[in-house]
Amino acid sequence: MFDQLVTRSQSVVSVTELFVSLPEHGFARAALMRVASPLARVVPTANSLTFLSGTAGSGKSLLVRQAILDALYRQPKFRFLIATAVELVELLVIADERQSLAELLERFGTLNLIVCEDLLGIEGLPLEQQMLLSLLDRSMTFGSRILVTSQKRPGELRNFSPRWVSRCHGGLCVSLSWPGLESRSQLISRLTNAKHVPLREPASEAIQWLAEHWPFSPREIVCAVSNLADYCGLHQVVLDVPLLERYHSEQALSVSPSMDTIANVVAAEFGIDSTDLRSRSRNRELIVPRQCAMFFAREFTGRPLEAIGLYFGQRTHTTVSHGLSRLKKILPHAPTISQQLQKIRNRLSENRREDCA
């Protein structure tokens, strides 16, 4: 399982993503560049741990992946692992049951960087917290750097042991805030350009309107721009402020299909059971249908990737992101799947109209 996590970490980082460095990211980027430095292994200290906090969708995972990409550019043999707190604990439990815990700990000690995402996954679980903290402490003694991400700051970790809170406070604590109006404008400008969203000149007027009326979360903005690009492609329109106002009103009035409806429609199209679609089963027959279901969940509901992943049995939002990227890559070479996607979209759109009626 250790090798699987390492391989998955490498594949997640290899996915091409548009990264827009915003002013609000300045301190965090500097901190993560230090954490992911490919220089000689560090002297074991509490400063080997960096704690990155921020609300869901603020861009923590994207910043982490960008820092690792920078490190790999300078040193291709930079060794790292990205996993959730729950996954790391599961790995320790399995190794303990197989009496291979000592060997596993040594393998962790060979890593330059260990990224422990979603610390809140073990909130209120004292045994799991103790196991994970022991792993991270031991890895630091071998010179590994540790990066922990969480939606809460160290001082807000109410259901964690004092040792955990102390260890987090002892490291470098960085917090991500949502982008302000100017930064949202910059992000939307870059995204609409990358997605080839047609904006009537002067484009700055449309971008300013979007920055003022759209959500503040970077992840939600990315999703919204993708939906806007699909809208323009479907209706063959060039966007200006009046059209954006109408589009915004239509979106607010539309009734999106529920996650249950999406799961049922996708399962029916592929001839499988919707409960299997939502399970953690890694049966190869479920991979593409599950990716399709997550694709439509994002398109129709706009829910955060964490929520979509949780619903469809995926452990992290990075798994969802990787699955969606894989689906988009195979679509140009898979006409049958493309046809199935169109049938599913038509059915979900019919459900939306029926609900509105």
Q: Is the pLDDT of residue 352 over 70?
A: no
335 shares its domain with 315: yes
Q: Is the pLDDT of residue 259 over 90?
A: no
pLDDT digits (tens, 9 = 90+) for 261-277: 899 999 999 988 888 88
Mean pLDDT, rounded, for 131-135 = 94
Q: What is the mean pLDDT of the chain?
A: 84
351: left (phi over 0), alpha (psi -120 to 50) or beta: alpha
Q: According to the model, what pLDDT value does residue 131 have?
A: 94
User: What type of residue sits at position 2?
Assistant: F
Q: Is the pLDDT of residue 108 over 90?
A: yes
Q: Is the pLDDT of residue 254 over 80?
A: no
Gap between the Cα atoms of 355 and 298, Å rounded? 19
Count of other CB atoms within 10 angstroms of residue 337: 17
Q: According to the model, what pLDDT value does residue 276 have?
A: 85
Which domain range does residue 192 map to?
Answer: 181-253
154 shares its domain with 107: yes
42 shares its domain with 125: yes
pLDDT digits (tens, 9 = 90+) for 292-338: 999 888 888 777 777 788 888 876 677 788 888 888 888 888 888 88
Q: How is residue 54 annotated by DSSP? A: -
Cα–Cα distance list, 262 to 219, 247, 265, 345 (Å): 21, 23, 5, 9
Q: According to the model, what pLDDT value does residue 129 have?
A: 93
109's tokens: 């000690």
| Cβ 152 vs Cβ 122: under 8 Å | no
Out of 159-173, 227-241, 269-283, 314-328, least confident range: 314-328
242 shares its domain with 312: no
Q: According to the model, what pLDDT value does residue 221 have?
A: 83
Q: According to the model, what pLDDT value does residue 353 have?
A: 47
Cα–Cα distance list, 20 to 23, 59, 120, 183 (Å): 10, 10, 27, 10
Q: According to the model, what pLDDT value does residue 282 have?
A: 78
Angle between helix 284-301 and helix 218-235 axes, rounded to 10 deg? 90
Which percentage of the chain shows pLDDT scores above 70? 92
Domain boundary among 204, 225, 253: 253
Domain boundary among 205, 237, 253: 253
151 shares its domain with 12: yes
β-sheet bridge partners, residue 148? 51, 116
205 shares its domain with 74: no
Q: How is residue 254 annotated by DSSP? A: S
Mean pLDDT, rounded, for 78-88 = 92
Q: Is the pLDDT of residue 41 over 70?
A: no
Mean pLDDT, rounded, for 177-188 = 86
Out of 80-89, 91-100, 197-206, 316-325, least confident range: 316-325
37 shares its domain with 138: yes
Mean pLDDT, rounded, for 171-190 = 87
Q: Is the pLDDT of residue 215 over 80?
A: no
Query: Rg for the chain (alpha carbons), in Å?
Result: 22
Higher-confidence position of 31 and 206 = 206
247 shares its domain with 156: no
Domain count, the chain: 3
Q: According to the model, what pLDDT value does residue 307 have?
A: 77
Q: Is the pLDDT of residue 157 over 60?
A: yes
201 shares its domain with 338: no
In sequence order, which residues have a C-beta less than 8 Å from that of residue 351 and are 6 or more positions away?
257, 261, 265
Q: According to the model, what pLDDT value does residue 346 have?
A: 82
Distance of CA 55 to the CA centre of its chain: 12
Q: According to the model, what pLDDT value does residue 349 have?
A: 74
Supply the CATH number for residue 55's domain: 3.40.50.300
Domain boundary among 206, 226, 253: 253
278 shares its domain with 323: yes
Q: According to the model, what pLDDT value does residue 322 have?
A: 84
Q: Is the pLDDT of residue 357 over 50?
A: no
276 shares its domain with 170: no
pLDDT interval class at 38 (50, 70, 90)? low
* 86 backbone dihedrals φ, ψ, rounded to 5°: -65, -45
339 shares its domain with 218: no
176's tokens: 């991500």
* Host H or E run for residue 147: strand 145-150
pLDDT interval class at 356 (50, 70, 90)? very low
Gap between the Cα atoms of 13 and 321, Å rounded? 11
Name the residue among 170, 186, 142 with its Cα closest to residue 43: 142
Supply the CATH number for residue 287's domain: 1.10.1750.10
Gap between the Cα atoms of 125 and 336, Å rounded? 46
